[in-house]
Structure 1
């Protein structure tokens, strides 16, 4: 009996460890291609060093968010302070921040995009920053942005 319980705990533990391994894209071109291929909008997370980590700690690092994000969005992280980013990526990230009207970091923008004749067109769906209440509350607000007709 003890052996079966240990095996069960091992599998549950590995499931939860795996569920929190989120794949954050950092290249917008790749993210758009994956978003269009999967027919899921992008969750674009604008951040920088030194900003509060409440959103990451209370929402993004939870099993609820891991499951929800896998089923609903393509994750994109644009770190405006990334010293390893190329100059063109830094410029692109600042242009996107301004285009989406992001004023305070961290903030999430939901969007879809298409590329035609080497021109990218974004369709903004909504924005959401940190709000206390945990992952379930944040996910509910995100769902109201992504699926407004279901309310």
Structure 2
């Protein structure tokens, strides 16, 4: 009986550990995300959000970005970047400045907005983002949202 209990406990532990390892990483530092995307030859997915006040952002998170379908899709295709504009949640000043600069650069006027961009370095070493397209909340859950995202990044 002890062997069965121990084996079952071990199986649960291994399952939980592998599930924890599969979670996606959302970067908040654009420079680090840029370098990672360049190194891994991936597209940047820039998620402009108001995480603690924007209802459509929260819906996009729950219906798409936190689903197994999205996690499976994103794992090999994109480097995830969250550019958050919270109202209640404290945020480092450096991150605030970076996020407002990115908002201005991409001319973001509403939330949620998701841009896809490829990182490029010029011969002089300057960083550029080659924009592929953008989307926001799409009705229909992960399947419909991923259909739109795939159409944007397919030329990568």
The interval holding the TM-score normalised by the smaller chain is 0.7 to 0.9
Does the CA-based 8 Å contact 1:16-1:63 persist in structure 2? no
CA distance in 2: counterparts of 1:143 and 1:74, whole angstroms: 15
* Residue in 1 that maps onto 2:152: 145
* Residue in 2 that maps onto 1:70: 75
Give 1:118 shift.
5.4
* Residue in 2 that maps onto 1:129: 136
Give 1:131 shift.
1.0
- Aligned pair in 2 of structure 1 residues 128, 44: CA closer, same or farther (>3 Å)? same
* Residue in 1 that maps onto 2:96: 90
CA distance in 1: counterparts of 2:20 and 2:129, whole angstroms: 34
Report the 3-state secondary structure (helix = DSSP H, G, I; strand = E; otherwise coil) of the residue aligned with 1:76. Answer: strand
Report matched runs for 1:1-151 at 5 Å: 10=12, 15-16=18-19, 18-19=21-22, 21-48=23-50, 49-52=52-55, 53-81=58-86, 83-87=90-94, 89-116=95-122, 117=124, 119-148=126-155
Q: Output the aligned Cα RMSD.
A: 2.5
Report the 3-state secondary structure (helix = DSSP H, G, I; strand = E; otherwise coil) of the residue aligned with 1:109. Answer: strand
Report the 3-state secondary structure (helix = DSSP H, G, I; strand = E; otherwise coil) of the residue aligned with 2:116. Answer: strand
Structure 2 unaligned blocks of 5 or more = none
Structure 1 unaligned blocks of 5 or more = none
Q: Please tell me whether Structure 1 or Structure 2 has the larger radius of gyration of its CA atoms.
A: 2
TM-score of the pair, normalised by structure 1? 0.82
- Aligned pair in 2 of structure 1 residues 115, 90: CA closer, same or farther (>3 Å)? farther
TM-score of the pair, normalised by structure 2? 0.79
- Aligned pair in 2 of structure 1 residues 121, 148: CA closer, same or farther (>3 Å)? closer
- Give CA deviations for 1:90-139 in whole Å, capped at 9, x if unaligned: 22211211221221111111011234445321111111101111111111
CA distance in 1: counterparts of 2:32 and 2:16, whole angstroms: 31
